Chain A
């Protein structure tokens, strides 16, 4: 599943009637910079992967440690994205529909995981949930250990995914036409029916997009996870970390194979997001 990363057609022609200058310079500069920073390095990755060949892929993928890391990354990212989306929709609803003291501060805070460097989030979460930590100690009394196992990864990925879930749904909640709800109420619907039959359907595509974004981000996440996960091979070792380990062992082929698989998954998610949005546009008219 390789995705072509060829540069766009080389000599595009201007069809604009306007006479603004600088098109050639701006596009030329943008394309060369894009080629140098993004396309050339990604091409190097695919070149390396193709030189590894089917055999290289087979050798790396038959390693149980690699299989476990990929499955773990995939599974925990999916569960965490689902959880973040459910919580995110509720939070977006509260922030958009209700007025309560400190609402605007809370709203601004939602972006914290975007702004906080992942390593900083990582050590904070690890210290918080450590067996002697602020939350870890009471949880340990209940017999729950969060750090050094997949639950820790889950917590870190919910943290990372939350803003994606909230911010994709929030503008749509703000745009809902209140007359629809009034109409439903006048027609005798209970509030419960209105929420699930009138409000949820138009929000579903945005929620799915948020889910896909949180999942894609979680899949590749590194900094916030490695500290809380403890990185025990076969237990809590995620795929991005395994790339780093393979690199430090000079196993370039192994690192490349895992990277290509993760990249393919990321491109797949990009495709899914675009399909969701196309579907939503078709369904909603021109939304």
Chain B
């Protein structure tokens, strides 16, 4: 999979030989502006317009509705469990992959990236087939009174699946780039392995780690398809924010639907700002390119 992160760019000063004619430039810039305004800005702006269509009072009421509050709580809880799980996995996987050589390494990297190629709906389905009442482990789970699908564990598992590669894929290229010399020096100077990791590796990767966590968190809080399949849509119990948005929208309660949606849109904007700031400020520390 290619690197999707934007790189630091150099802006070229116009030079008649190696750039387009002024009219062509104007057309291309105008196309970019109009296209992005139509496809990105307009939908984003519409969310806030619709949310506030009946005034701030209705907006606030929609957000403080008990079902909305429990959806917000559940979303925060799921992200608080899923993101740390993927953080630990990401660090462990990239430590093994970047600092050591072993056969099958590139195959392992492909497997780590695999969840990105799986449709969110299929991601939800596989857990239903494994843990659902009709699933492989269903009878055993029922016997022991363990509920996974249509309950919190299923939602967390589906969320972990769809956000699985986020942290690892930020760290692997960076840690491969950094090599093992720093850690070896620390070990030579008498540091324990754990100490070398905490005082040498971790500071080296902290910005990339934060970057990965930021993207992972945005997806974890916003995941819809996978969670929708495993949640069972029980109001006040297994409804996350995106699922609650769907229910309100299908009930034609547009103000409330867009009010909850506006919180998720704010999350997306904060994520974008954080991501951009990290890229500007610590671009090299994240990408490992110099």
Residues of A within 8 A of B (CB): 5, 8-9, 12-16, 18-23, 25-27, 29-31, 33-34, 37-42, 44-45, 47-48, 87, 90-91, 93-100, 103-104, 106-121, 123-128, 134-135, 158-159, 162-164, 167-168, 170-171, 174, 178, 181-182, 185, 191, 194-195, 206, 209, 213, 216, 219-223, 227, 240-241, 243-244, 247, 250, 252, 255-256, 259, 262-263, 266-267, 269-270, 273, 277
Contact = CB atoms under 8 A, between A and B. Distances in A.
A91 B180 contact: no
A107 B196 CA distance: 38
A14 B225 contact: no
Given A20-B187, A23-B100, A119-B224, 10 more contacts: A18-B100, A20-B193, A26-B95, A38-B161, A44-B126, A135-B38, A135-B42, A171-B7, A174-B7, A263-B119
Given A20-B100, A34-B111, A94 B242 contact: no
Closest 6 CB pairs of A and B: A220-B119, A117-B222, A21-B193, A12-B102, A41-B126, A222-B225
Contacts of B13: 99
B101 A14 contact: yes
Contacts, number: 327
B125 A37 contact: no
Contact of B95 (A14, A22, A93, A219): A22
Contacts of B35: 87, 91
B41 interface: yes
A137 B258 CA distance: 20
Interface stretch (B43-51, B62-70, B204-212): B43-51
Q: What size tier do the contact residues of chain B reach? A: 35 or more
B19 to A, nearest CB: 7
B5 to A, nearest CB: 7
A42 B123 CA distance: 8
A255 B21 contact: no
A27 B40 contact: no
A18 B180 contact: yes
A164 B275 CA distance: 16
Given A38-B161, A117-B223, A181 B43 contact: no
